[in-house]
Structure 1
C-alpha cells in the first residue's frame, strides 16, 4: 500500500466515524479543505461516491458503508501494531489533545506535569484550559478532565481525585450586616457574587441538595465574572457571598477571612474524572497519558466502575 493510499483510507475512516468533515479534520489535525480534497481523490480513484453530503450532514452511501465495514478491522489492527511497537521500543512520541477546566488544571494536572515529561519527553501535550462544556470527540480532543456530572454517557470515566463539595461563604463583617442565610431561598435577599462560564457565556446557577434531590437556582448580586479568584476577593472585601468548591476556599476559611454558610445543603459529590472515548484503539501517546494519569491517581479503597453510567 502506498503512503498516499493509507492517508486516504485514514481520512475516510475519520469522516465516517465523526460524521462531519470539520470534526474529522480536527481529529486528523488538518484543515477541512485539505480533508475534502483527500476524500475526493479517494472517491475518484475508486470510481464510487462514498459520502452523501448536505449543508448539515455527511452520511455514508451504501457503497461507502460496505467499504467502511470491510476496512475498519484492518485499520484497527494496523494502528494497534504501531502503538505496540512504539510502546515496546520505548520511543513513544506524538501529540495528546487535552481539554481541562481551570480548577482541574491547577489541582490535578500541575502537580504531576513535570513527572510526566520526565517519563515521556517526546510526547506533546496540547492542552486547552477553559471553563466550558464541549463535546470532546466532535471538537477533536483525545482526553478530557471534568467533573463526573459532565462526562458523556458513552465515555470511559476514571476518577482522579476525591469527592468534592460546594461551599457558600462570606466575610464576618458582611454576615454581621446582612445576617446569615438559613436556606438557599434566603439568598434572594443577599448580595451574591456570580460566576460566568467562559465558553458559552452563561451565568452559573448555584446548586444545592435538599429533600433527596439536587436543584439549582439563579442568584443576583453586584458582580458577574469569569474569574473565581476575583469573586473571592470581592467576598473578602465584604461585597457578598461567594460560591466555590470547599477545597479552593479553604485558605480563606482557615484564616477566618470567610465563613461558610448553608453547609447542610452542600454535600459531597463525585469529583474530577479522566474522560476519553470508547475507541477500540488509540495512539500510543494517548494510551501512555491515560496510563500515567491512572498511576498518578490510583483508585481509592474500593474499585469504582470506570464506565459512565446513568
Structure 2
C-alpha cells in the first residue's frame, strides 16, 4: 500500500468520525475543499460511494461502514507503531553492537557499562573484543572503537578519552643483566618482546620520535604473540623489553615492578575514537550511547 492510499483512508475515517467535512478538515489540518477532493479520488479509485452528502449533512454509506470497520484496527496499529517509535527515540532500547579493541574495551568501555546501563536500562550492549581491523558495516556492528589513525575517513568519529602514549618498559632484573638502552637504536642489541598485528600477522615495528626525528625499529627477541597481557607478564618476569600502551603498564611502573625507558622518544598521540557509518538517522541506542560518552562524567 502506498502512502497516498493510507492518507486517503485516514481522511475517510476522519470524515466518518466527525460526520462533517469542515470538522474533519480542521482535525487533519487541511481545507474542506481539499478533503472533499481526497474523498472523491478514493471513491473513484474504489468504484463505490463511501459517504452520502447533502448540503447540510454527511452520512456513511453501507459500503463505507463495511470499509471503516476493516480499516480502523489497521489505522490504530499504525498509530501505535508510530507512538512506539517516538517513545523508543525518547527512551531507547534494543541491542547496541560494538566492535572494540582489547585495550579500549578494558580501559574505556568497561568502566562505562555500569553507569550507561543505569542511564539506559533497556539498551543491551553486545561487545565484540577484536584487535583486527574489521569492516563494521559488513560485520553488522553499529559502531567500533579504534585508534584515530586507523579509522576510515568516511566514518563519523567521536573522541573517546584523551591522548595515548606507548611506554617501553623492562624489569630491573633484565636491565641488571643486559644494561639499559639510551636510544631506540640500542634495541637491536636487546631481547625484545614482540607483538603481532592480528590483521596482517606482521610484527609491530616500534615507533619513536623526538625533536622532529622519527624512527621505526624492527626489534629482535625471544617471543612474538598477539596477546599483550602475555608480553606484560614476560616483561615482569625479566624476559625482555616490551613496548605497550601506557594503560597496560602504568601501574606496574608506578609500583616499581617495571622501569620506563626511552621516555623522551615516546610522545603522546591521538587516542581512541568511537566511530560509526555516516547515516542520516543514527539508531536510537547508538545515539543514546554517544550522548552518554559526550556528557561530562561526574
Contact kept, 8 Å, 1:84 with 1:284, in 2: the verdict is: no
- The CA deviation at 1:267 is 0.2
Residue 245 of structure 2 corresponds to residue 240 of structure 1: no
Q: 1:81 to 1:155 in 2, by over 3 A?
A: farther
Alignment of 1:130-149 (within 5 A): 130-149=130-149
Q: 1:121 to 1:277 in 2, by over 3 A?
A: same
Structure 2 gaps of 5+ residues are: 3-81
Contact kept, 8 Å, 2:107 with 2:247, in 1: the verdict is: no
Over aligned residue pairs, what C-alpha RMSD do you find? 2.4
Contact kept, 8 Å, 1:83 with 1:284, in 2: the verdict is: no
Larger Rg: 2
- Listed one character per residue, the Cα deviations across residues 36-64 of structure 1 (whole Å, up to 9, x for unaligned) are xxxxxxxxxxxxxxxxxxxxxxxxxxxxx
TM-score with structure 2 setting the length: 0.67
- The CA deviation at 1:243 is 0.6
Match of 1:219 in 2: 219
Inter-partner Cα distance in structure 1 for 2:215 and 2:138: 29
Match of 1:58 in 2: none
Stretch deviating more after TM superposition (237-246 or 136-145): 136-145
TM-score with structure 1 setting the length: 0.65
Residue 272 of structure 2 corresponds to residue 278 of structure 1: no
- The CA deviation at 1:84 is 4.4
| Higher RCO, Cα 8 Å, sep 6+ | 1
Inter-partner Cα distance in structure 2 for 1:182 and 1:244: 18
How many residue pairs were aligned? 220
Contact kept, 8 Å, 2:174 with 2:238, in 1: the verdict is: yes
Q: 1:180 to 1:116 in 2, by over 3 A?
A: same
Inter-partner Cα distance in structure 2 for 1:145 and 1:82: 30
Inter-partner Cα distance in structure 2 for 1:244 and 1:81: 50
Contact kept, 8 Å, 1:161 with 1:271, in 2: the verdict is: yes
Match of 1:86 in 2: 88
Contact kept, 8 Å, 1:209 with 1:267, in 2: the verdict is: yes
